[in-house]
Structure 1
Amino acid sequence: MTTDKTTTIRGYAKRLRLPRLTANVQELLLKAQKESPSYDDFLGHILEMEIKSREEKQKFSRLKAARLPFMHDLDLYDHGMSNGLSITQLNQLREPHWIDESYNLMLAGPCGVGYAK
């Protein structure tokens, strides 16, 4: 494919806000020339790539907005606090049954022990 056409495709992808296609148009076209996929497979691959990229970006944005500390470890939980959570119950949290049941889970401590940025 000529450079003019590649530049045009890149411009269209940018206007349509398709960042993965914008960044990888030349590689995708070369791969398509080598592998000769059907038109539907080629287009499907590009759209799937864009969707995965957007989902990953949204996931990263949500994690960043949550401002969670990077290290979560139940081994660091302070059992000395009298909060009604036994060691057995805490160990049960290691088994993700609560996720399958769609339960929310929150571990809290006294004021001043939370994560601050």
Structure 2
Amino acid sequence: MGPEEAVDTAIDEACRALHLPTIRRRIQEMTADAMRQRSSYKDFLAHLLEAECAEREERRKQRLVRDANFP
């Protein structure tokens, strides 16, 4: 296993432990975008966290509607 695979594995394990499914699923795509745009580390981190928060909010809304048992 090379250094890049080791980093990918560490990120995957940390995302599992911290329950960050969106970051875990989208990290490769978002990393590539950040490299193309030459984003700073802070910008990259902000985008990762915004994506996680947005998806959690969407799942929360879906769960509330499902739990409401509307006719």
TM-score range, shorter chain: 0.7 to 0.9
1:63 equivalent among 62, 65, 69:
65
Which structure has the greater CA radius of gyration? 1
Q: TM-score, normalised by structure 2?
A: 0.85
Map Cα deviations across residues 17-51 of structure 1 (whole Å, 9 max, x no partner).
11101111211222222211112211111111111
Alignment pair present for 1:47 and 2:44: no
Q: Which residue identity is paired with 2:19?
A: R
CA distance in 2, matches of 1:31, 1:14: 23
The alignment status of 1:6 with 2:31, answered yes or no, reads no
* 1:27-46 alignment, distance < 5 Å: 27-46=29-48
**How much identity, in percent, do the aligned residues show?**
32
Alignment gaps of 5+ in structure 2 = none
CA contact (8 A) 1:20 1:53 kept: yes
The aligned runs of 1:35-114 (5 Å cut-off) are 35-68=37-70
Superposition TM-score, scaled by structure 1 size:
0.54
Higher relative contact order (CA 8 A, sep 6+): 2
Unmatched segments (≥5 aa) in structure 1? 69-114
Residue 13 of structure 1 and its aligned partner are, at CA, apart by 1.1
**Displaced runs of 4+ in structure 1, greater than 2 A?**
none
